[in-house]
Amino acid sequence: MPQQSGRALRVLLVAVPETAGSALYGLLDVLSAAGGLWQTLLREQPRPAVLRPGIVATSLEPFACGNDIPVRPSASVRDDPVADLIIVPEVWLEPDASLTGRHPEIVDWLRRSHRRGAHLYSACSGAILLAETGLLDGCDATSHWGYADLFRQQYPRIRFRPEPSLAFADPAGRVVTAGGTTSWHDLALHIIARHISPAEALRIAKVYLLKWHDEGQLPYTPLVRHSPHGDAVIRRVEDFLQAHHAEPEVLATAVRDAGIPVRTLKRRFRAATGSSLTGRLQDLRVERAKELLEQSSMAVDAISAAVGYEDASFFRQLFRRRTGVAPRDYRRMFRPPAADTPRSDSGPAAA
C-alpha cells in the first residue's frame, strides 16, 4: 500500500497498559517525521504529510502504560476507527505470563481492520497481542527471543522464528512481525521504505542514526533457556549436560545414566524442553564458546577444542548456524572495548 497521491496514510499505534512507552513514542515520533525532518535540516521544502500517526486504545481516557508513562489516545476501538496501517508496539510481559482474555476489544478490532484491508505490524513482544487474533496461525512470526517458549506453549500453530529482524506472515506482507526490543527501529524503516520510499527510509535512518539489524537476532539470543517442567529424569539429564558438555562421549554417558530407553529419553527430552538432546549439547558448547570469545584472547581453534570439538571447521559452521555470525565477528561485536586486544584470527585460526 504505497502512499496515494494527495492522501496521507492513517497509522494507528495500539496502546494498552502493558505497552512499552519507548517503543510507542519512538515509533510515533519517527513515523511523524518521515517526509519532513530531513528536508527541514537541509533547508529544503518539506513534502506534504505522508503518514498520519496516532494512538488507539480501548477508550479515549488517558492512562499510564509501562513504567508509568502517560498515554493520551487519539482514537478508541469502540468507535471502530479505520486505518491504513496498524502497529502493535512492544508490551511488558513476563515470559510465563499470558495476554489471553486481557484486551478482547482490541483483538476484535484488529481482526476487523485486517478484514477491511489494513496492514498489521508488531514490534517485539507486541506479536503476542497480534497472536491473540489468530491471524498468525500457520504463519511465520518473530518476537523477542525471550518469548520463544511462550509461543511454543501458548501458540503452537504459529511458526515462531527467533532469528530474523522481520518475519512476514503472508506473501503480500500485510502482517509483519519484528524481533527484539529495538526492532521498532527496523520496523519503522521497513514501513517508511514500503509505504513512502526506500530513499526516505535511508534519510530517516541518517537523521535518527538508526541501524538496520541485518544480522538478525541470533547473535543476541542465549541458546540455552531452562523451561519449567516436572520431569525429574530430564532435569537430571539437563544438569549432567550442563556440567559435562565439553567432555567426549557425554551424550552416551547421559543416555546410560538416565536409565530409560534412548528413544523414550529423546521423546521426553524434546517434550519437556523443546530441544533435542543433540541440539541441547551443541547449544551448551556454543554458549561456552561465546563466553570465551567475549572474555578471552584464545584463538578460535583453541576455543573449538576447549568446548569439545576437535574439528575446528565443523565448530565454525555450527557456531555460524547457531548465532548467525562467524566466531571472529561475534568477538568483534561483543568483546568489551576496554579488554586487551584479542589475538588475531588471521591464518589457520581464522573464522
- Is residue 329 situated within a structural domain? yes
pLDDT given for residue 213 in this prediction = 62
Q: Which of 54-63, 81-90, 93-102 has the lowest mean pLDDT?
A: 93-102
- Is residue 92 situated within a structural domain? yes
Structural domain boundaries, residue 43: 9-220
- Is residue 3 situated within a structural domain? no
pLDDT for residue 282 is more than 70: yes
- The strand order across the sheet containing 9-14 reads 75-76, 51-57, 9-14, 85-88, 119-123, 175-178, 166-168
Residue 202 sits in the same domain as residue 314: no
Residue 50 sits in the same domain as residue 163: yes
SS3 71: strand
DSSP letter at 351? -
pLDDT for residue 1 is more than 80: no
User: Of 175, 193, 220, which one is at a domain's C-terminal end?
Assistant: 220
- Is residue 1 situated within a structural domain? no
CATH number at residue 273: 1.10.10.60
pLDDT for residue 11 is more than 90: yes
Return d(Cα 183, Cα 123) in angstroms, integer: 6
Pick the closest to residue 107 from 138, 128, 83 (CA basis): 128
- Residue with more model confidence, 272 or 351: 272
pLDDT one-digit tens code per residue, 178-233: 987 678 898 998 898 888 887 788 888 888 888 766 655 555 566 777 777 889 99
pLDDT given for residue 6 in this prediction = 60
Residue 272 sits in the same domain as residue 252: yes
CATH number at residue 215: 3.40.50.880
- Is residue 199 situated within a structural domain? yes
At residue 347 the predicted structure's pLDDT band, cuts being 50, 70 and 90, is very low
At residue 16 the predicted structure's pLDDT band, cuts being 50, 70 and 90, is very high
Residue 304 sits in the same domain as residue 325: yes
- Is residue 149 situated within a structural domain? yes
- Is residue 226 situated within a structural domain? no
At residue 43 the predicted structure's pLDDT band, cuts being 50, 70 and 90, is confident
- Is residue 281 situated within a structural domain? yes
256, 262, 264, 266: CA torsion to nearest 10: 100
Q: Quote the number of domains for the chain.
A: 2
Q: Which of 74-83, 170-179, 275-284 has the lowest mean pLDDT?
A: 170-179
Q: Do 181 and 216 form a contact (C-beta atoms < 8 A)?
A: no
Taking residues 111-130, what's their average pLDDT? 96
How much of the chain, in percent, has pLDDT values that exceed 90?
59
pLDDT given for residue 330 in this prediction = 82
Q: Which three cell numbers stand for residue 286?
A: 556454543
Convert 151-216 into a string of H (helix), E (strand) and C (coil). Answer: HHHHCCCCEECCCCCEEECCCCCCEEEECCCCHHHHHHHHHHHHHCCHHHHHHHHHHHCCCCCCCC
Strand pairing report for 85-88 and 9-14: parallel
Taking residues 161-186, what's their average pLDDT? 85
Pick the closest to residue 105 from 137, 123, 125, 129 (CA basis): 129
Residue 135 sits in the same domain as residue 68: yes
